[in-house]
Chains A and B, each alone.
Chain A
């Protein structure tokens, strides 16, 4: 039985050595970066936009009780139902009961990370409900029986040839691996489902407190169809999704699209408030919004990391992360991957199970720079490391090693002595030809790198000599 940390190391090592995988990711990220560069000019002052988003989310999160109640009140006035779920289990049970009560056989689902978090699809399938993921990327990974690879681009790890093979096996009618042709196959495959499903399930990008509407952003239009045609619409949202005013979206929508995919704005930015109104042509007869806590209120209680709840799930931090680019989305073994996932997962899934992810970072800060809501991601990774050392299960050998390390660093004479001793030892070992063998004292490093040159003199010796000379 290996621990999640051991599994993570194994998967990360395998994936980073998989050059075909690296090429696929590189292609995807290159397209993303070019698109973001093109869109950047839309913002005369991007830093001011980030500050605005930070302030909007700060206001909402730091008065969360007030805005949640305001949102709930207005949505109920519109005829919507609001269910407060403390745990993933609460949310699953509510939705499964709702489906059972209404004899739901078919569900069309639009892309939503929070429904992955509560593992909703498997629950419904166990009850015999057919669940169609309707976002193309999600549909592809569902057909492969895989979790999404990336918050925003679920099938980023697959080439068109692999997707063509998948469709050939599962859907049929494949004549080429041209993306246009493949999209047409997906459209036809889901068309019936949209018009026959009894229930549509979506996430929500934002919950707008002052109007009691939820905001949903999609490009494909699947989110529009799935929330318009079925008789029941269920939306699942974390309690942190609330924003104060509808007008806040005037900056949020363009910023989300820029950071997520490098578009000036997404195709469909929709606001939905409740079921079809009596005077309206069509729309669901019932609307249910499931507000999910599932660990969020505990994160809220930590003022140091509270701003992690500002996240709008754009995925920009994944795209810029040098670790994500090498190890890929599945290696994390977590619903939310990349820097935001490494920060968030210990809070949602337990520090012991997910603490190792915060150590898998170079702390370069690219994620912090990329974040459109200015979450100080790399400092939160550091705080998680501190918390892990203080309270999670870490090996006793680590504590001993760092005790020794700090004792050596605290004495100038000790530092010089152990430095010289280490260089001498390494010189002997390498003269015996032990470099890059299992007996190499630097084995963990030299497994994947050339052995370092051993300097003749220490920095302090050089400093003394050269300062003496001047």
Chain B
């Protein structure tokens, strides 16, 4: 197999190199008129507004205790059944506050089950510009954020960055792209407009994305 790989590889690269001996023109830049995106002054305000537009439920709390209560309220509103939780000390600590007798599968026990009713994870960062949550495979694995009908993200205000540039800078700073086999910028819950371009929520991923953000 390796042999076959290499022969195609070398021929393609040889053709590419020979093709690039001639240079192609670049389009001239238009007169610059400022940044591509308008600068963001109030990140929390922008984040909340974007969440409202992309139908992410955003709950702001005063501290982790209040966040635990907020998670409990969301869980109280969904059908009975097991939930999948990222095995992180922060979440282990607040579990007793919202478990409500539900069976918990921790991410340290393996991937999410098909029958999970909800997933609770942390995030790498939150992005104000688009009202998004950046998760990685460290946040409960690769399937965690899409396998259940509800995804609850527990975050803190210091995780909020203004825009995508800043979000990538933060990932880079922590080497997140090296440590994880998956990173995902999640904006709102799963949706489709494939039937007459009419928006329908909850295609294959979660119907609800809830961000519980403590100050």
Contact = CB atoms under 8 A, between A and B. Distances in A.
Contacts of B174: none
A225 B143 contact: yes
Given A213-B177, A273-B177, A228 B146 contact: yes
Nearest to B113: A195
A31 interface: yes
B94 interface: no
A389 interface: no
Contacts of B200: 179-180, 183
B122 to A, nearest CB: 13
B90 interface: no
A178 to B, nearest CB: 9
A105 to B, nearest CB: 18
Given A44-B34, A225-B205, A282-B141, A300 B20 contact: yes
Interface stretch (B23-31, B65-73, B74-82, B96-104): B23-31
Given A224-B205, A265-B187, A273-B177, A155 B194 contact: yes
Contact of A281 (B11, B19, B142): B142
Contacts of A293: 12, 15
Interface stretch (A121-129, A244-252, A325-333, A347-355): A244-252
Contact of B24 (A62, A137, A298): A62
B62 interface: no
Contacts of B23: 62, 303
Contacts of A62: 20, 23-24
A195 B113 CA distance: 9
Interface stretch (A79-87, A396-404, A430-438, A445-453): A79-87
B91 interface: no
A42 interface: yes
B182 interface: yes
A90 B19 CA distance: 21
A338 interface: no
A104 interface: no
A357 B54 CA distance: 39
B137 A280 contact: yes
Contact of A84 (B9, B140, B171, B186): B9
A153 B195 CA distance: 9
A280 B33 contact: no
A136 interface: yes
Given A224-B205, A283-B142, A268 B12 contact: no
Contact of B183 (A28, A54, A271, A300): A271
Interface in B1-51: 5, 8-9, 11-13, 15-20, 22-27, 29-30, 32-38, 50
A64 B181 contact: no
Contact of A183 (B114, B165, B202, B206): B202
Q: Which one of B17, B18, B145, B177 has the highest number of Cβ atoms from chain A below 10 Å of its Cβ?
A: B177
Interface string B160-174: 000111011101100
Given A64-B16, A265-B130, A270-B183, A51 B27 contact: yes
A110 B35 CA distance: 35
A293 B8 CA distance: 10
Contact of B168 (A155, A213, A239, A246): A246
B155 interface: no
Contacts of B190: 219-221, 267-268
A247 B36 contact: no
A315 interface: no
B114 A195 contact: yes
B181 A183 contact: no
Q: Which one of B23, B140, B194, B195 has the highest number of Cβ atoms from chain A below 10 Å of its Cβ?
A: B194
B186 A247 contact: no
A140 interface: yes
A309 to B, nearest CB: 10
B110 interface: yes
A49 interface: yes
Nearest to B139: A281
B30 A47 contact: yes
Nearest to A291: B12
Contact of B181 (A49, A86, A134, A277): A277
Given A221-B146, A247-B165, A283-B141, A140 B193 contact: no
A51 B30 contact: yes
Contacts of A179: 195-196, 198, 200
B164 A267 contact: no
Contacts of B141: 228, 280-283
A227 B194 contact: no
B55 to A, nearest CB: 10
Given A187-B202, A282-B143, A297-B16, A28 B197 contact: yes
A250 B167 CA distance: 9
B203 interface: yes
B193 A261 contact: yes
Contacts of B188: 267
B168 A276 contact: no
Contacts of A298: 15, 19
A117 interface: no
A183 B180 contact: no
A292 B51 CA distance: 39
Contact of A49 (B36, B108, B184, B196): B36
B49 to A, nearest CB: 11
Q: Which one of B33, B38, B184 has the highest number of Cβ atoms from chain A below 10 Å of its Cβ?
A: B184
10 contacts: A27-B197, A61-B24, A86-B8, A90-B8, A136-B195, A264-B187, A266-B187, A270-B185, A272-B182, A291-B12
Given A154-B194, A183-B202, 8 more contacts: A52-B36, A184-B202, A190-B204, A225-B143, A254-B164, A265-B185, A281-B141, A283-B182
